[in-house]
Amino acid sequence: MGQSLLIPALLVLAVLSALHARVVAYDAFVRGAREGLETVVSVAPYLAAILTAVALLRETGLMDAAQALLSPLLTRLGLPRESLSVVLLRPLSGSAALAAVSEVMHACGPDSRAARIACVISGASETVFFTGSLYLGAAGVTRSRYAVPAALAAYAAGVIAAAQLV
């Protein structure tokens, strides 16, 4: 129940801080909303590509085969098999994970355990490989040492935590 208040509270906080900083709240909101809409438009082509690929994997039964193959491991971790696609795609691409989460919701219903776990995993992690290559590339790093293992271990810990928490 208390969590329903979060978003109204966030808006109140944002408006109050705008008033405090003497910013015209309405204009600032509209500028931000425009950026939000631009973001949606800019990810649409990626979503089209990824959802096509995910639909292909599902319709041809390849996803089922992969889930069946990995289901002993998933069960041991407490993960529903439907969440496999999200677990695998999340470190690679944000829009792919978004597409996969929406697939799970579609297939299992938004309040199913699989869909909730998919949401928690997706919300609690980042695109490890994209962020990693972006940041290391910007710094001209060629010897990344323990960066990738540490980031992936942290991701795995988050996934296992999500399975226990939901």
Site for other proteins in 27-66 (CB under 8 A): 28-37, 39-41, 43-44, 47-62
User: Which of 112, 75, 68, 119 lies closest to 97, judged by CA?
Assistant: 119
Place of tokens 């639909």: 55
Instruction: State the nearest-atom distance from the C-beta of 95 to other proteins, in Å.
Output: 9
Instruction: State the nearest-atom distance from the C-beta of 75 to other proteins, in Å.
Output: 19
CA distance 152 to 162: 15
CA distance 148 to 49: 27
Return the structure tokens found at 83.
């969440």
Contacts of 68 (CB under 8 A, 6+ apart): 81
Residue 124 binding other proteins, by CB under 8 A:
yes
Q: What part of residues 63-92 is at the interface with other proteins (CB under 8 A)?
A: none
Residue 166 binding other proteins, by CB under 8 A:
yes
In this chain, which of 69, 73, 107, 110 binds other proteins, going by CB under 8 A?
A: 110
Instruction: State the nearest-atom distance from the C-beta of 67 to other proteins, in Å.
Output: 14
